[in-house]
Amino acid sequence: MNQPTTLPLRATPDVSAFSYTQRNEKYWKRNLFICVFGSFTTLVSLSMLLPFLPLYVKQLGVESQADVIEWSGVAFGATFLGTAVTAPIWGKLADRYGRKPMLIRAAVGMAVVMSLIGVAHNVYELVGLRTIAGLVGGYASASTVMVGTQAPRERAGWALACCRRVRSRAIWLGR
C-alpha cells in the first residue's frame, strides 16, 4: 500500500546532436537585435570622433596645422591598424570559446578604451589608446559572423542585410 511511486524521467535530448544553428534557433532574433544595436553604437562612436579629432589633437597641445593634420591621421589610422593585427586572433578564439564571449570582450574593451580616450593628456596617449581600441575591438565583424551562423538558412540573408544596413547608417551618421 505504501509503495513508492516512480515517475518516468523526462528524456533530455542530446545537445551535441544539434548544429549550432539548431541550438540557437529560438534566440537568433534577440541576438540579431543585440548585435545590430551593439554594432550601431560601436561604429557611431568610432566614426563620430573623426570630425572632432583635429580639434582634440590641437587641444592636446599640438600647435602647427600640419602637425595637427598628421597626428589626426595617425590617431585615426591606428585603430584600424590594431584591428588588422588582432582580427585573425579574435576569430580563432571565437571559434574555440564561442562568439558571445568574444562579443562581450569587444564591447567591454571598447567601452573602457573609448572612455579613456576622453581623458588622454597628450597626443601619444591618444594614439596609444586608439591603437588599443583597435586591438580589443572587432565587435561589428564578430556580430555579423554570429548573426550569420545563428539565423535559420532561409532568414540568414535578411539578417545579414540588417547588419550591413545598420553598419552603413552608423558610419554615415557618425560623419
Q: 19-37 pLDDT, tens per residue?
A: 666 776 778 888 889 888 8
Quick one: pLDDT band at residue 150, thresholds 50, 70, 90? confident
- The pLDDT tens digits for 78-122 are 988 999 999 999 989 998 998 889 999 999 998 899 899 989 999
Q: Could you confirm whether domain 26-174 is CATH 1.10.1240.10?
A: no
Statement: residue 173 has pLDDT above 80: no
Helix, strand, coil shares, percent, the chain, to 5: 80, 0, 20
pTM: 0.75
pLDDT at 64: 94
Task: State which amino acid sits at residue 152.
Answer: P
- The pLDDT tens digits for 51-77 are 889 999 999 999 999 999 999 999 999
Domain ranges of the chain: 26-174
